[in-house]
Amino acid sequence: MSALEGASPYIRAESNLAALGLDQMAASLPDYMRMVSEGDLEFCAALAEMTAAEVAAKEARVTRQRIRSAGFPYEKTLADFDWSFQPSVPRARVEELATLRFMERAENVLLVGSPGVGKTHLAIAVGIEAVRARREVRFMDCARLVDDLRDAQSRGILKKRLQYYAHSKLLIIDELGYLDIDEGGADLLFQLVSTRYEQRSTIITTNVGIGGWAKVFGDEVAASAIADRVCHHCHVIKITGRSYRLKDLPADSKAAPGAAGKEQL
Ligand code: ADP
Ligand code: MG
């Protein structure tokens, strides 16, 4: 005999909702029961509202999980971006990117600027919009991506790994140019960029303008082969301005050597 046999319909309903993991519905049950019994709401309307809250809570859970698995180093949105601090950022173009139309056309985005100007922040913000739109997003630091491909190559599973990255609806390659990449690394990156070319969108953040990529890759031919595929259908956004990280430092410390990094726009 069930423990709930003979229990009131309310107790049974509450117990069933809990067993099904429908916590929102279980929590709102007393309120809705009162509204229905007092004639303020029809049963079906109450059920529609209760299930809508449960659906919304489930969608929020799924989005949180997808944001976690995308691998963002931090979570920031366009709402967190202080446009007045960085007036060189073309707001309308960035907001257009957030509509994700560029992804429908498999176009790329190149965010160029010195350290701290908001490149990674904007890339993450667009990435989070894509996650909210239920697109599969992968964020990778460039050096880590090259290491990962190199590791796959040494284990004989490069093709599989390239397919894995080719599959992401949006790939964000962060910090290209902070570390130089050798010939083997450039070749792997070229293969990756080629698999995504005109098929899927890639966002790249870099502190080195395209003209400086030959130095990053140590080779003019590899650099232009990569740049060619990245830049063919590409939104290039150059950010010139102060580092947000240094915004609270007194004016004289902002001129400290190294603060501008490898800027080469
Ligand atoms: P980078 O250009 O080196 O990638 P980030 O985008 O990571 O720099 O920015 C460094 C930090 O400053 C992050 O915490 C980011 O959220 C913050 N930040 C940068 N620019 C802005 C801005 N205009 N408004 C608000 N926060 C910003
Ligand atoms: Mg960055």
6: confidence class by pLDDT, cuts 50, 70, 90: confident
Q: Please compute the mean of the pLDDT values over residues 115-131 and round it to a whole number.
A: 97
262: confidence class by pLDDT, cuts 50, 70, 90: very low
Q: From the CB of 207, is ligand 1 less than 6 Å away?
A: no
Task: Give nearest CA residue, ligand 1 atom 10.
Answer: 116
pLDDT at 256 over 80: no
> Do the beta carbons of residue 77 and residue 230 sit within 8 Å?
no
Q: Please compute the mean of the pLDDT values over residues 223-242 and round it to a whole number.
A: 93
pLDDT digits (tens, 9 = 90+) for 50-72: 999 999 999 999 999 999 999 99
What distance in Å separates the CA atoms of residue 97 and residue 109, rounded to the nearest whole number? 9
For the chain, the structural domain boundaries read 9-69, 73-262
What distance in Å separates the CA atoms of residue 211 and residue 217, rounded to the nearest whole number? 12
Q: From the CB of 244, is ligand 1 less than 6 Å away?
A: yes
Q: Which pTM does this prediction carry?
A: 0.85
Closest CA to 154 of 191, 178, 184, 183: 184
The minimum-distance atom of ligand 1 relative to the CA of 114 is: 2
Backbone angles phi, psi at 254, to 5 degrees: -70, -20
What distance in Å separates the CA atoms of residue 27 and residue 16, rounded to the nearest whole number? 12
The minimum-distance atom of ligand 1 relative to the CA of 124 is: 6
Here the tokens at position 73 are 């180093």
pLDDT at 218 over 80: yes
Report the pLDDT value the prediction gives residue 265, as an integer from 0 to 100: 41
Region label for 71, one of left (φ > 0), alpha (ψ between -120 and 50) or beta (otherwise): left
pLDDT digits (tens, 9 = 90+) for 148-186: 999 999 999 999 999 999 999 999 999 999 998 999 999
Q: From the CB of 161, is ligand 1 less than 6 Å away?
A: no
Task: Give nearest CA residue, ligand 1 atom 23.
Answer: 82
**73-262 is a CATH 3.40.50.300 domain:** yes
Residue with the bigger pLDDT between 199 and 263: it is 199
Report the pLDDT value the prediction gives residue 247, as an integer from 0 to 100: 82
Task: Give nearest CA residue, ligand 1 atom 26.
Answer: 81
Helix (H, G, I), strand (E, B) or coil at 52: helix
Count Cα atoms within 13 angstroms, Cβ side, for 213: 24
